[in-house]
Structure 1
Amino acid sequence: MESSNPTRLVELAQFLKTRRARISPEQAGLPHGGRRRTPGLRRGEVAQLSGVSVDWYTWLEQARNIQVSTPVLDSIARALQLDSNERNHLFMLALQQLPADLTPAENTIHTTVQSFLDLQGTSPAYVTDQRLNIVAWNRAASMIYGNYETMSTRERNTVWRTFTSPYVRQLLQENWEAHARHRLAQFRTSYGKFAGDPWWMEIIEELNQASPEFRAWWPKHDVLNGPEGKKINHHPTAGLLVFDQISFFVSDASHLTVTINLPSNDDTTSKLGKLLSE
């Protein structure tokens, strides 16, 4: 932590105090220990549960400028029973960065998110997780990009599908390479948080075997985030479809990304309307 930002250190100290005050010894799995002048855990108890010295934890709550590591912050987060939002806040205050989660977050899609996708009507919309798996979609997305309902989990991975699906190549035609390179750069960006994780190592190996393009481009280490902008699709029955793409994170599940492909012109909107009415 930087001494040049004392306000952040004070915010961190106050945040820790409030989280400590709300947890009883019983909730933390400790004996009550008799009468207490203040509610919640004592500093020494948090230190014990976190595996750090009492002095070190006390300095943290005194807003001193001391070195804090990621493993120690994770231990404190567990000791204080922080939820994902509180844990992220702890990391931002202490290190000015979000934690790199090595275990995938739950891909539970709230009904409100699914309703939002469904309300997009003629705009194909879907949700992807950190692995770039499609985890939710609307009818327009299935009509254009394939029936996600019948796909396997591997087929719903957008990188796997981009590099192995003949349908996707036909849908994108001359734009396939630009799309594939963009998707691969997004995949490489996400992989940076999970390097060495068995799931990632397995799919990378399988893609290396399945796709010569992936095998050639993966070593380039291109990284990128954000939507693709303009998308041009050649649907087998609807014909030429042109979209403008936007993406944003789900506010209470930042590992999930909503992507919406907005029809760029009236012709695309009309064609999608007819397709959806069949």
Structure 2
Amino acid sequence: MTAPVQMDPDSVRRANLREFLIARRARITPEEVGLAPGGRRRTPGLRREEVAVLAGVGTSWYQWLEQGRDITVSSQVLDAIGRVLKLDEPELRHLYALAGLNPPPVGRICPDHASGPVNQALLRLVDTWLPNPGMIVDRYWNMVVANRAAELALHTTDGSWNCLHQYFLDEIYRESLENWAELAPHVVATYRSEMTACPGDESFRQVVEGLLPQSPEFAELWARQGVAHSGVNIKSLSSRVGPLHFESVTLSVPDRADLRIVLHNPRAGSDTRAKMERLLAEDERRNGLRLVAG
């Protein structure tokens, strides 16, 4: 029996890179990237030289890349090619791997365009998290969706707040969060870390520069240059039904790099879940009375 031929891993990787780039180039029309349709093309999609020009690289260099030659590749160039070929996050990570570079962490790739409405499955996830607080924020920590438990316990409202601004400017939230001062440095360091992952993104800068003159405490913490991952935050909040103790976890959405799901779970051994159920029941009764009175 003949032994199987062992393929050189780098040769296999470069061959796969060639096939991937050709396939992705073929699916992009000239009109999609702002080019004139031109005459009849022998193959569908963009030409190699068009990808090179749009990505800001040399035509010969891009041809060598697509041919699978052993050349030096940078993350900046791969990002530029990814934008031209309109790669989503999994595809861009795949391109990095085929080019021999370590892919960026999941959820840290920053597309240039909005990714559209929130998937209904994500909305249902937040709703079914009741009676616990759940919400969805965008990459700049702007509130996108908050369930009723989050509105009652965390004083959030859909679309009305940037969470970083709320943390430092909302006096009601600040007074209710018993460990506000303990968490503040970590909150600021986490935002800097996410901002650093998207260099040149003007919207991050606008959030920071809008807050700096309004909050000396934020300005002092921002100047420390701290960085941190979100991790698990322990929150203790006061409410009209008594203290609430949560573990807050931030989750990335694999196919939506622009979104984060923030879920609050009652701390083990606490009666927080029962208090949240009571808080929601009282809110429902009040709303019912308002409807009857109206």
Residues 129 and 257 of structure 1 are in contact (CA less than 8 Å); yes or no, is this contact kept in structure 2? Answer: yes
The Cα of 1:138 is off from its aligned counterpart by: 0.9
1:143–1:82 CA distance, 2 compared to 1 (3 A): same
What are the residue-to-residue correspondences of 1:154-173 with 2, within 5 Å?
156-173=161-178
Gaps of 5+ in 1: none
Are 1:97 and 2:97 matched, yes or no?
no
Distance of 1:129 and 1:31 partners within structure 2: 39
1:119–1:233 CA distance, 2 compared to 1 (3 A): same
Q: Which amino acid aligns with 1:134?
A: M
The Cα of 1:79 is off from its aligned counterpart by: 4.2
Between 83-92 and 251-260, report the one with greater CA deviation.
83-92
Select 1:56's aligned residue among 39, 61, 80.
Answer: 61
Distance of 1:136 and 1:160 partners within structure 2: 17
Residues 185 and 222 of structure 1 are in contact (CA less than 8 Å); yes or no, is this contact kept in structure 2? Answer: yes
Residues 26 and 32 of structure 1 are in contact (CA less than 8 Å); yes or no, is this contact kept in structure 2? Answer: no
Are 1:261 and 2:264 matched, yes or no?
yes
Are 1:275 and 2:284 matched, yes or no?
no
Are 1:143 and 2:152 matched, yes or no?
yes
Q: Which amino acid aligns with 2:137?
A: T
Are 1:31 and 2:38 matched, yes or no?
yes
1:112–1:191 CA distance, 2 compared to 1 (3 A): same
Distance of 2:146 and 2:248 partners within structure 1: 15
Q: Determine the structure 1 residue equivalent to 2:120.
A: 111
Q: Which amino acid aligns with 1:97?
A: P
Listed one character per residue, the Cα deviations across residues 186-238 of structure 1 (whole Å, up to 9, x for unaligned) are: 11112213456544334323422222221221111111112334321112x02
Aligned residues: percent identity?
35
Are 1:210 and 2:214 matched, yes or no?
yes
Listed one character per residue, the Cα deviations across residues 113-146 of structure 1 (whole Å, up to 9, x for unaligned) are: 1111000111111112211222111111111011
Q: Determine the structure 2 residue equivalent to 1:176.
A: 180
Distance of 2:44 and 2:223 partners within structure 1: 55
Q: Determine the structure 2 residue equivalent to 1:238.
A: 241
Distance of 1:25 and 1:104 partners within structure 2: 18
Gaps of 5+ in 2: 1-8, 283-294
1:165–1:13 CA distance, 2 compared to 1 (3 A): same
Between 102-111 and 186-195, report the one with greater CA deviation.
102-111
Distance of 1:30 and 1:75 partners within structure 2: 22
Q: Which amino acid aligns with 1:246?
A: V
Select 2:14's aligned residue among 2, 9, 20.
Answer: 9
Between 160-169 and 93-102, report the one with greater CA deviation.
93-102
Matched position secondary structure for 1:121: coil
Superposition RMSD in Å = 3.1
Q: What TM-score comes out, normalization by structure 2 length?
A: 0.77
The Cα of 1:81 is off from its aligned counterpart by: 4.2
What are the residue-to-residue correspondences of 1:50-89 with 2, within 5 Å?
50-70=55-75, 72-89=77-94
1:238–1:5 CA distance, 2 compared to 1 (3 A): farther
Distance of 1:23 and 1:104 partners within structure 2: 16
Matched position secondary structure for 1:230: strand
Q: Which amino acid aligns with 1:253?
A: R
Distance of 1:106 and 1:41 partners within structure 2: 23
Distance of 1:25 and 1:195 partners within structure 2: 28
Matched position secondary structure for 1:239: coil
Distance of 1:20 and 1:102 partners within structure 2: 18
Q: Determine the structure 2 residue equivalent to 1:247.
A: 250
